Amino acid sequence: MPLALGPKLRYLVGRARRIDIGSVIERAKEAHDQHGKAVPAVVVDMLWSAAKHDVAFQDYVDYDFAMLTKQERATFMTHPVSMQLAARFSKPEGRAIFEDKIAFNKRFADHLRREWMVVTDDNAEEVRAFVERHGTVIAKVPVSHMGLGVRRYHAADVEDWAGFHKRLLESDEILLEEVIRQHDDIAAYCPGTVNTTRIVAFFDGTDVHIIAVAQKFGRGAVSDQMSYGGFYTMLDPETGHALSAGYDSHGHVHETHPDSGLRIADFQLPRFDEAVALIDRAARVVPEVQYAGWDVVVTNDGVDLVEGNWGVGVYENKPSVSGVRTGNKPRYRAAMGF
């Protein structure tokens, strides 16, 4: 089933209007520094790849397209293609559940292993009891993206509970959650951040297909997203073992975790089969969203579902780090039939 021409044309028109040639040149310089290709040639190649093959400029850099052949490039999923697929395989009523963290927690309550509550105008005492019981809590803005709108609060730091309750309401940080206690093997890499696993899956109406798995690592901040200094490595989708060192979209490669010194390529996700089984169940709950990126945290006792993302971010192999010059697009095609 080919991708619809209309969405692609709208994407190209929108991208042409927003193009920042200075940004393109900066990314081309990154490719030059990494692979020795002439900047003008890279700029032309980037623009052609975007127009002809739906390759975002950052995808071009992240996936080392400057060092790959045409055939190798064709094996990588890109953000523009992923977004077209997300639009095709989701409906507005399903997206609304995924976009609102409170609605998501309510719908997926059976798959959550942590306590949570909603801050309202009249529950200041309940908020105090919740925070004091857990000691440290995570506060979230219900509708936010890329790990933004997430803060960590400690009961010991709160002197004015009425004022604290008021600030939560005013900042729209109205979803409070117990801090997930991650598995000891994961905490060994970075105990200061809850390190999530991204599992990309597709529900075809009968079976759930696991397409790609990435392990994210934080740097001690409240989130493991790149905007907080985090990075990731791809995991073998059959075993849950790391395929290479870690990397991010800022040119940083991590052979070891900068804080713990543990080797990223040695990482094995504990309870991997349980994580896959959880997604097999969760992916069926909202059939209006067939294609999603699921974030889970493995604990000593099981696997906790953090959130689902209908606008699926792409996590791919980085050839210059792993030595593997192919991506996951064939797995997407086999599962989704495009």
Domain boundaries, the chain: 5-77, 91-108+182-310, 115-178
pTM value?
Answer: 0.93
Tokens coding 67:
């060092």
20-24, 65-69, 287-291: range with lowest mean pLDDT: 20-24
Which pLDDT score, from 0 to 100, does residue 148 have? 78
Among positive and negative, which fits the CA dihedral 176, 180, 181, 187? negative
> How many Å apart are CA 116 and CA 130, to the nearest integer?
9
Q: How far is CA 19 from CA 13, 34, 76, in A?
A: 10, 23, 22
| Distance of alpha carbon 105 from the chain centroid | 18
12-16, 50-54, 212-216: range with lowest mean pLDDT: 12-16
Q: pLDDT tens for residues 5-17?
A: 666 556 555 655 6
> How many Å apart are CA 309 and CA 141, to the nearest integer?
15
Inter-helix orientation angle 39-53/21-35, to 10° = 120
Architecture of domain 91-108+182-310: 2-Layer Sandwich (3.30)
> How many Å apart are CA 219 and CA 242, to the nearest integer?
18
Q: pLDDT tens for residues 299-323?
A: 999 999 999 999 999 999 999 999 9
Helix (H, G, I), strand (E, B) or coil at 176: strand
Which pLDDT score, from 0 to 100, does residue 261 have? 98
Q: pLDDT tens for residues 129-171?
A: 999 999 999 999 999 876 679 999 999 999 999 999 999 999 9
Inter-helix orientation angle 5-18/39-53, to 10° = 150
Within 8 A by CB and 6+ apart from 237, the residues are 210, 211, 212, 213, 331
Beta strands in the chain (DSSP E): 116-118, 136-140, 150-154, 175-178, 197-203, 208-217, 231-235, 246-247, 253-254, 291-298, 303-309
Is 13 exposed, middle or buried (CB count within 10 Å of its CB: 0-12, 13-18, 19+)? exposed
| Region 162-190 average pLDDT | 98
DSSP letter, residue 90: B
Residue 20 has a CB neighbour count (10 Å cut-off) of 9
Taking 60 as the threshold, does the pLDDT of residue 89 lie above it?
yes
Taking 60 as the threshold, does the pLDDT of residue 334 lie above it?
yes
Residue 1 has a CB neighbour count (10 Å cut-off) of 8
Q: How confident is the model at residue 4 (pLDDT cuts 50, 70, 90)?
A: low
Give the DSSP H or E segment for 85.
helix 79-88
- Where helices occur in 285-328 by DSSP H, the ranges are 319-322
Which pLDDT score, from 0 to 100, does residue 103 have? 98
Which pLDDT score, from 0 to 100, does residue 145 have? 77
The answer to whether 328 and 317 have CB atoms below 8 angstroms apart is yes
Which pLDDT score, from 0 to 100, does residue 144 have? 86
The answer to whether 255 and 245 have CB atoms below 8 angstroms apart is yes
Tokens coding 240:
């849950």
Domains 91-108+182-310 and 115-178 share a fold: no
Q: How confident is the model at residue 174 (pLDDT cuts 50, 70, 90)?
A: very high
Residue 151 has a CB neighbour count (10 Å cut-off) of 14
Average pLDDT, the chain: 94
Architecture of domain 115-178: 2-Layer Sandwich (3.30)
